[in-house]
Amino acid sequence: MTPKPLSRPTHRFVRLLCAAVLLMASGHGHTDSDHDHDRARQALEAGEVLPLHKILERVHKEVPGEVLDVELDRDNNHGAVSWTYKIKVLRQGGERVKLKIDARTGRLISRKTKD
């Protein structure tokens, strides 16, 4: 089964995100959060999180619209590390949807909607 192509706004967001990651990897735009980016990259390489493009493909199927924001959060709960993607989507008609997704499995944890 061939996955559905990403919408133009989602595709643009993914390209911008990749450009930002490449810019940071090249040493430009150095910030205090570089350690967080390194940790997230290591989690991806270790198979602890799914790649963002796979998550966005799933999100697009469930909640079509323009992706406004993506965060990858690392939680340490009494020594147990878990990763979550927090994604904000603007749907046609102006409805905003906030999704919290288990970054390892892609499972939807929560969904909140605002008009």
Domain with 104 in it: what CATH number?
3.10.450.40
Q: How far is it, in rounded angstroms, from Cα 83 to Cα 65?
A: 24
Domain annotation covers residue 66? yes
Q: What string of H, E and C letters represents the secondary structure of 56-111? A: HHHHHHHCCCEEEEEEEEEEEECCEEEEEEEEEEECCCCCEEEEEEECCCCCEEEE
pLDDT score for 55: 94
pLDDT-based confidence at residue 8 (cuts at 50, 70, 90): low
Residue 28 belongs to a domain? yes
Whether 3 is in a domain gets the answer no
Mean pLDDT confidence for 75-96: 91
Using 50, 70 and 90 to split pLDDT, how confident is the model at 16? low
pLDDT score of 11 more than 90: no
Res 32: pLDDT:
47
Average pLDDT value for the chain: 80
> What residues make up the domain containing 98?
8-114
| Whole-number pLDDT of residue 7 | 61
pTM score of the predicted model: 0.68
Checking if the pLDDT of 100 tops 70, the result is: yes
Question: Does 2 map to a domain?
Answer: no
Helix/strand/coil for 50? coil
Number of domains, the chain: 1
Per DSSP, the three-state class of 28 is: coil
Position 21 scores a pLDDT of 53
